[in-house]
Structure formats: C-alpha cells, structure tokens
Chain A
C-alpha cells in the first residue's frame, strides 16, 4: 500500500542508483560534447543520413511506445471500459514522459535547437508534414501534461485546481485521440517524400495507416509491459484496485492487441499486393521483411490469442515484450535499415557509440523520472482524500 516503505527506496547506493548514476554522468559529458563541439564529433550523421537513431529510436519509437496514454484513456473514458481505470494514470504518465523525452531528444538531433518553435512564429509552414507533426506533438505534450496534472495536484494538496482539471477529462481525452491520430500517421507520411530511398517492401502509400495502427498495437502492448514492470518493482505502492487489475488488464489489452495485430498483418499483405512487390520477398531484404512480418506481427498475434484463450497471463506478458520489440524493429527498418538501401556499404549509416550513449541517457532519465513520480505521487494508488475521476 501507499504508506508502506520499500527497503530499496531508502538505500542510497542501490544497484539501480549506481547504474543510473553512471549513465547520467556519461550522458552529461556527452551532452556537453554535443552542444560545444556540434553534431559532427558525436554522431555519424551525414548529408546522406541526416536522421539517425535520435530520430529512428528516440522520436519514432518514443512516440509509438507513448501511445499507451491515448489508447488507455480512450478505452476507459470514451469506450466506457471502466474496469481498466486503474491503468489510466500509469499510462498517461508513461505517455507524458515519453513525449517529453522525444522533445528533449530533438534538441540533440536538430542542428539549431533554439529554432524548434520557429514554425509557429516565424513562418506558417502549414503545408509541411513536419509542421503538422511538430504542432501535434507540442499540443499533445501539453494535453498529456494537463491530463497528468491531477496526480501532482493531489500530492501538493491543490484541491481547487484539481477539481477544474478533472472536469476537463473527456475533452482532454478527445483532444488526445485526435492529435495522436494526426501525428502518429504523419510520422509515417514523412517517408512518403522518399520513394527512391526507402526499400519498396517498406515504402507504401499506406505508410501513414501502418504507423497509426502500429501505434495502437504499441500502446496496448506497452501498457501491458509497463504494468508488468510496475507489479514487479512497485507492488508495495499499489492499492487493492491496482493489484486486482494485475491479470484483468493483460487479458483485456492482450485480446485487443491480438485482433489489431491480425488486422495489421492482413493490410501489410494487401500493401505488398497493391505495389506488386512479391518478387522482392525472395531477396535478402525480403527475408528481413518476412522476419518482421511473421516474427513480430503474425507470431505475437497468435501468441496473444493463445494467451487470452488459455488465460495464460505470463504468455501475454512475454508477448507484449516481443510486440514492443517488434515496433522498435519496424521503426528501425523504416528509418535506417531499409532507408538508403541502394547506397554502398561505406555510405550506409551506423550510429556512433556516443549517439547510442545519448539515447541510453535519455531513456534512463525517463526511468528515473517515472520512479521518482510513482514513489511520491498517487499514480499506482488512489489518494484517500479524492474521488476517482
């Protein structure tokens, strides 16, 4: 329960603190290097490959995996699935931290990060997909912040402010769904500009649809994955409602993920047929495409379905991990592996260890922030002084 103190909480030199501390120190050093020496010395980015893992992982994967926020709040507040109510706050927190870290990562990736707000004030740029992505991410980050704010308000005892925000719940959820639909798909649409650079098996006029559907899959799987980790490490912070959803959440979200994955598999096959790309399947890239399609789409759909049928929560949890990995593989394939596929090996992109180090640093900040918040604020338990909303 919330009043209990876990022995790890008060241990200054716990394993987590030592590892996280070392990563933060490394990240800070790399940050100083990045902002004093520029992009060249810390990254392998070039004119051929202007987008590396800071876009492929931190942004594309980060935004997809943060989709749990809108998926869960839509399920509970718009579709009336109140039995998953306990999952909303952790999902919103994960989404908020995910988007905040996406914006942080953009500061490393963009050559002149102080110009990030330019599209809003210097020129309209409304015909640009990147403008739409930027506008939606900025607005959705604001929406997520407001959706998340009741938790810190309860923690700080700001009853009146909390009452106002709680009244906006449905409106914020609708905003969240609309904004997510727009920018999750637009992230895929960004690659429509490069038909000659992206391998035909991954390039499709349906890319925006693929990105949106995989964001739903990523959201559902990430909520199961995150709930598994929370029950593992923060069970002592949970109240009865959160502890009770330990099995019901994976069964419900696993069923939804299985069906969406099956639908995604079918439209991916339709995509191959629409562009008549069957002959590429017999190539090396085709083999890798089939690994992604069969190993990270068809297999999880089947495993989720078996898990739901057999009420095997353990299998569903492992499948959620496999699906999250699949979303990472998909975004890596579109943005890096199958991108510039025609270039000679010497001109292909591979991230420098410093780029990887900064990505690890950013993920670690997210984990530290999540840990800080759930150990202090009413995320995994309902505050006794307030009614649930």
Chain B
C-alpha cells in the first residue's frame, strides 16, 4: 500500500475507498433484499 504522509492524502485515500464501498452497498443491499424476499407468498 502506498504510504500516507498528510491528512489530505489520508482523507483522499479513505474517502475514495468509502465511495466505492457505498456504491457496493447500494448494489448489495437491494440484491440481499431480493434474496430474502424472493420466495415470499405475499
């Protein structure tokens, strides 16, 4: 992993990873909901 020397580098690195994770969450949660409710009767 690339070394981080400043707060700005830290924020840029962590925030970019978080944006990726948020996108992943937005895709994963509806998919999980579909998996959860797929066989519901109602």
Contact = CB atoms under 8 A, between A and B. Distances in A.
Interface of A: 255, 258-259, 262-263, 266, 269-270, 273-276, 278-279, 301, 305, 308-311
A266 B36 contact: no
Contacts of A269: 21
A369 to B, nearest CB: 36
A250 to B, nearest CB: 14
A262 to B, nearest CB: 5
A273 B32 contact: no
Given A270-B18, A274-B18, A305-B35, A262 B29 contact: yes
Nearest to B41: A311
Nearest to B4: A276
A153 B4 CA distance: 65
B33 interface: yes
B38 A309 contact: yes
A275 B36 CA distance: 31
Contacts of B32: 258-259, 262, 301, 305
Nearest to A275: B14
Interface of B: 1, 4, 10, 13-14, 17-18, 21-22, 24-25, 28-29, 32-33, 35-39
B36 A270 contact: no
B18 A258 contact: no
Contacts of A279: 1
A299 to B, nearest CB: 14
22 contacts: A255-B37, A258-B32, A259-B32, A259-B36, A262-B32, A266-B21, A266-B29, A269-B21, A270-B18, A270-B25, A273-B14, A273-B18, A274-B14, A274-B18, A276-B4, A276-B13, A305-B35, A305-B36, A309-B35, A309-B36, A309-B38, A311-B39
A276 B25 CA distance: 18
Given A270-B21, A275-B14, 5 more contacts: A259-B33, A262-B32, A266-B24, A274-B18, A309-B39
A311 B33 CA distance: 16
A119 B25 CA distance: 42
Nearest to A270: B21
Contacts of A275: 14
Contact of A308 (B17, B29, B36): B36
Nearest to B22: A270
Contacts of A259: 29, 32-33, 36
B36 A258 contact: yes
A263 B18 contact: no
Contacts of A311: 39
Nearest to B39: A309
A235 to B, nearest CB: 26
Contacts of B22: 270
A276 B10 CA distance: 8
Contacts of B38: 309
A276 to B, nearest CB: 5
A263 B35 contact: no
Nearest to A262: B32
B14 A276 contact: yes
A263 B29 contact: yes
A308 B35 CA distance: 10
Contacts of A276: 4, 10, 13-14, 17
Contacts of A305: 32, 35-36
